[in-house]
Structure formats: C-alpha cells, structure tokens
Chains A and B, each alone.
Chain A
Amino acid sequence: MHMADALISPAVGGVFWAATAGLMTYCSKKMRNSFESLQVPLMGVLGAFIFASQMINFTIPGTGSSGHLGGGLLLAILLGPCPAFMTIASVLTVQALFFADGGLLALGCNIFNLGFFPCFLAYPFIYKLIAGEKPTQSRIVAGSILAAVVGLQLGAFGVVLETLFSGISELPFSTFVLLMQPIHLAIGVVEGLVTASVVAFVWAARPEILEMAAGHAPAKSFSIQKVLATLMILALVTGTGLSWFASAHPDGLEWSMAKTSGKEELEAPEQGIHSMLGHLQEATSFLPDYGFKSAEVTEAAEGEAQHETAVVEEAEAWPAVDIGTSVAGVVGGSLTLLMAWSIALFLRREQKTS
C-alpha cells in the first residue's frame, strides 16, 4: 500500500525525500562509473514491463481472488540493486502522477518503502545468499519467497511508521500494525511465488540474462556511503521509537499544566500565537503525542463523560483549537468556499470569451 499526501506531515515527507534523493544520487553516481549505455533504455523498458505486468493477474486457487506482481524484487534480480531502485522510483513516479497512487510529497516515502527494502536489503542479504550465482529451482523459490516477504514486511512497517510520525491519522500503532503486517505477509508470499516463477522461466530459457545481472551487483563491496546511510536510517528509527516511549510522560505534564492554567485562559487563546507554538511543538518533538494520547483520551472520555473534563482533554490534545471560535470558523469557511467557486466561474467565463 502506498503512503498518501493526505496522511503525511512535512517533516516526515521531507526526511524520506532526503533519504530517497540521497539514494538516487548514490545510484546515479554508481551507474555513471560503470556506465553501459544499454542500461538506460533497458531500465525504462523494464519499468514499463513492470507497469504492464501489474495489470495482468492470475487467480489464486482457493480464494477466488487475483494477485499480481509488485516488481521490486524481480527488478533487483534482473538488473542489480542500483538500476532496480531507479526503475522502481520511475514506476512509482508515473503511478503518482497519473493514477494519484500516493502523492508527490509521499513519493519519497513510497520510493523508500518499495525500493530501498527490496533492492538494498532483501535482494542482497536474502535472495542472493540463498539463490547464489547458479540457482536451482527450489533455491529460486525459497529465496524469492523469503526475500519478498521480508521486503514487503519492512515496506509495510515503513508505511505504519511514517503515518504514525506524521500524526494526521488517529489510528493507533497497534491497530495499524495488526492491519498492515498480516495483509502484507500474504501479499509477500504471492509476490515471492510470482517472482520465482518468472525467474525460473528466464533461468530455463535464457540463463545468461541472470548471470549477467548477478555479475553487475556488487558482491561484498559495501561502500562507506551505504553503511552510513543504513546507520542513519537505523538511528532515525530507534531514536524516534525511543522518544515515542519517552513522550508517554509529557502527557502527564501537559495535563497538569492545563489544570493549573485554568479553563478560561484556554477558551480564549490568541489564535495566532497558540497555533504557532503548537507547530513548534509538533516539529521539534517529531513524534506527536497522538497515538498514546488518543487511547488515553478515549479512556478518560469513557470513564468520565463530563463536559469539563472533556474540555480539558481536548485542550490537552491540541491547545490551539478553541470551541468558541469554531462557529466563526465554519461561517468563514463556507464564505471562503463560495468566494473560491465564484472566482472559478468567473475565470472560466473569461477563458471562454478570450
């Protein structure tokens, strides 16, 4: 599943775009050094192939539903990690631009989830180790399934983390994980089987293709950049994970702060300053306090269904929002919509006459 712009925050989007851009630069440099002019048309055309193959499906016996190829692992097997990563990036770009599959800001996340994990982790560390240079049928199947499953699990987990860190969705971590991981386990198995069957076909028909591809991928030479990138990502994940657990306690702080400062102050804030402060808070803490919070909030709401507590709760959840001015917001919002619509009509009429 792809991340969407609707669920992302600029911080998360930015970070993953930086990571993706870094990886793409790394790949371009790598490919320029060992440049084979065949690579460029090959990558483009294989990208189109992935696109086309995603449209063809097969029936999964027993379920009656159909499955199809994702493509990341297959590309890595055919092209090697760097070209495969670029190719997946391009497929996802086309999907984002034409089919609104994921958004432009979330594209960085999607390329990372669906590209980095299969190409730079699953392929070299799992598939290659199992299947090796001269694979047999069973090794291909085993390697593909395992690599696909792991790659997709990591990718799915990536989506969960990104949504979590963005703080737009209220879906708690545990629920989301329970949703995503099992589904993607099934998808991973299917992907692995499909990849295996295609690879087996190619291996039988024209083994030199796979041999050539295996030759391209760097055997054991990991550059410093790659190691650093991996470390950075791990640091990111663990750092935010730790801060997530740490932020459990600030909830208590905010609660008490709200209690001591009093209801009146919170009901008539200076809108501008509050929202700006609120923003600073969100940006610096990186992991917003929603997940844990909403669980607390729901419990409290269920436990004590009192207006007063509810107000304090809501203030705790977001100091900037204010019930008093909300009506004005609705009125203003509708007027804005009306204005926008009339401007649009005006512009269209202008366009038609000119």
Chain B
Amino acid sequence: MPKIESSLFEIGVLDQLAFQDTPLHRIDPRIKLITTLCFIVTVVSYNHYEFSALLPLILYPIALSASGQLPGAYLWRKLLIASPFALLIGMFNPLFDHSTLLQIGGLSISGGWVSFASIMLRFTLTVSAALILVASTGFATVCMALGRMGISKVFTTQLLFLYRYIFILTDEGLRMMRARNLRSFDKRGTGLKIYGSMLGQLLLRTMDRAQRIHQAMLCRGFTGDIRLNRQFRLRSTDITFAAGWLTFFILARTCNLPLAVGQFVMGIAA
C-alpha cells in the first residue's frame, strides 16, 4: 500500500519541481532533450575499465541541478532507490575479473573493482541526467517536444493521456486495496481470485472511463488529431547551451582530462 502513495508522491514532486522558473527551466525542451541524450550516449561510450576519465562528466548533472535549483538530497534519494539492479549485476564484476589494473602504493586493485566502480558511476550519471530532464521540463512538455521532433503523434498523445490518468487510476486502485485490506484478515481474502476480480473491475471501469473521455472529446469537435496551442521557440541562449555542452562532452570524451590534470600536478610536484 505505501508503494502506491509514495509513487504518486514521486511523480507529483518531480512535476512540482518542473513548475519553477529558473534559467534551466526556460531552455527549450527540445534542446534539453538532445543534450541529455548526447550526454547519456557519451557516458555509455567509454569502455568498461574507464573510471577517472568519466569524472569530468559529473559537471553536467551538478551544474544543471544547481542552476535549476533542484534539491540535491532529493535527487540522491531517487538514485539510491533506483540503484539495486545496477548494483546487483555490477557486483559480479569484482568476483569474475581478478586481473590487476591499478597499483597504488602496495595495494593492487583488480579490473573487476574498476569496472564495478565504472558501472556505478555510469548509473549515477545517466539516471541523474534523466531525472534532471524531467524535473526541469515537466513530463507533458517532454512529450510535446518529442512530438515536435518527429516521434509519432499517436504515441506522444497516448503518453500524455497515460500521464494524465495515472493519478486517477492509482487513486482508484488504492481505494480498492484499502477496502480489500480492511475486510481481509490473516492474509485471507488477498489471494489470486480476489485479485483477479479486483483488477477486472478496475479494468472494466477504466474502459468505461475511456469511452466517456472519448465522448467528451467528440463533443468538443475531435476529429482524430490532437492539437495543442504550444509554441516552442529557439533562442540564442538555447543554441549556446547546446553548443557549449556538446563541445564539453566531445572534449571530455576525446581527452582524458583527469589524467592530464593529474600528470600536470605530479609534474609540478616532482
């Protein structure tokens, strides 16, 4: 039961964050979408043993969340919650890869640990980029941006509907669950048959609702094409944003910045 409420809450909170007005929020959503995707592709393109080379990319989520006034603690929490799968699979790397890769002082670190760290870093970078995208743009706007960029209108429209009705349906589901739980004791009454009929009821009600929505749409002149009066205009700020970040990604990808810095520092020290 807590899961439904907390999930709704999550969606609500992210959406709430999207309503702020900061420089980041004002960037054209299509630009943000493109830079996020480029960022993810860049992160993912490193080989599995690279760790420190990935580090400069941390600048992207950090800079964005700062300029978008997105609460760091919240983003961290979401990351933690989402981490189990990556952790689970990544954990096997140290188990299976014993080749020595690093030697710091007398300590030898195996390739497995490096690749594990790399996995966790990738996870952090990619997930935070996606979260920041939604938190600084809003789900509905992302969908519309996708539509403008050529994704099938059928898909983006029903995505909008899905988002719109998630709250209502999870609310209904929650009420059903509460009602069931209040009348079931010792785990009796929570079996498969009841579940099936609960879902069945919810399903039928959902389909009726879809019918009513459809009628409401027809009554307001719907002929098959959803039109939304939203203007997206590209400004020079947006272009600069994209150009700047893309250059940074390419730079970080092609030159191992931490290595250069480290060598420089050690050169001075020596």
Hey, which bits of chain A sit against chain B, CB under 8 A? 1-2, 4-10, 13, 24-25, 27-28, 31-32, 35, 37-49, 51-53, 55-59, 61, 69, 78, 86-87, 89-91, 93-94, 96-101, 103-105, 163, 167-172, 175, 193-194, 196-198, 200-202, 205-206, 209, 271-272, 275, 278-279, 282, 290, 294-295, 297-298, 301-302, 307, 310-311, 313-314, 317-318, 320-321, 323, 325-333, 335-337, 339-341, 343-345, 347-348, 351
Contacts and interface: CB of A to CB of B under 8 A. Distances in A.
Nearest to B112: A170
A313 B142 CA distance: 47
B97 A170 contact: yes
Contact of A52 (B158, B164, B166): B166
Nearest to A45: B210
B104 A104 contact: no
Nearest to A172: B96
Contact of B130 (A10, A41, A97, A163): A97
Interface of B: 3-4, 7, 10-11, 14, 22, 36-37, 40-41, 43-45, 47-49, 51-53, 55-56, 58-59, 62-63, 65-67, 69, 78-79, 81-82, 85-86, 89-90, 92-93, 95-104, 111-112, 115, 118-120, 122-123, 126-127, 129-131, 133-134, 139, 142, 152-155, 157-166, 168-170, 172-174, 176-177, 187, 190-204, 206-207, 209-211, 213-214, 217-218, 222-224, 226, 254-263, 265-266
Contacts of A329: 51-53, 256, 258-259, 262
27 contacts: A4-B86, A37-B223, A40-B226, A41-B214, A42-B207, A44-B159, A45-B162, A51-B162, A53-B199, A78-B203, A86-B154, A86-B158, A87-B158, A94-B162, A97-B134, A198-B199, A201-B196, A205-B200, A271-B256, A298-B97, A310-B99, A326-B103, A328-B259, A331-B262, A331-B266, A336-B257, A351-B69
Contacts of A43: 158, 161-162
Given A58-B194, A325-B259, A97 B224 contact: no
B152 A45 contact: no
Contacts of A209: 204, 207
A282 B47 contact: yes
Among B79, B119, B133, residue most surrounded by chain A Cβ atoms (within 10 Å):
B119
A326 B258 CA distance: 11
A169 to B, nearest CB: 5
A169 B197 contact: no
B152 A42 contact: no
B66 A279 contact: no
Contacts of B90: 6-7, 169
B126 A327 contact: no
Contacts of A330: 52, 102, 104, 262
A37 B43 CA distance: 41
Contact of A197 (B55, B176, B192): B192
A32 B177 CA distance: 38
B145 to A, nearest CB: 13
Nearest to B262: A332
A49 B169 contact: yes
Given A169-B92, A290-B48, A318-B47, A323 B101 contact: yes
A335 B262 contact: yes
A44 B52 contact: no
Contacts of A196: 196
A156 B41 CA distance: 24
B223 to A, nearest CB: 8
Contacts of B36: 104
B52 A202 contact: no
Given A44-B158, A194-B199, A332 B261 contact: yes
B204 A206 contact: yes
Given A321-B101, A351-B69, A38 B173 contact: no
A38 B161 CA distance: 12
Task: Across the A-B interface, give the 7 residue pairs with the lowest CB-CB distance, nearest first.
Answer: A44-B161, A197-B196, A332-B262, A201-B200, A332-B258, A333-B52, A100-B82
A44 B164 contact: yes
Given A7-B90, A56-B176, A49 B217 contact: no
A198 B200 contact: yes
B117 to A, nearest CB: 10
A351 B161 contact: no
Contacts of B168: 48
B22 A58 contact: no
B259 to A, nearest CB: 5
B123 A343 contact: no
Nearest to A96: B130
Contacts of B56: 336, 340
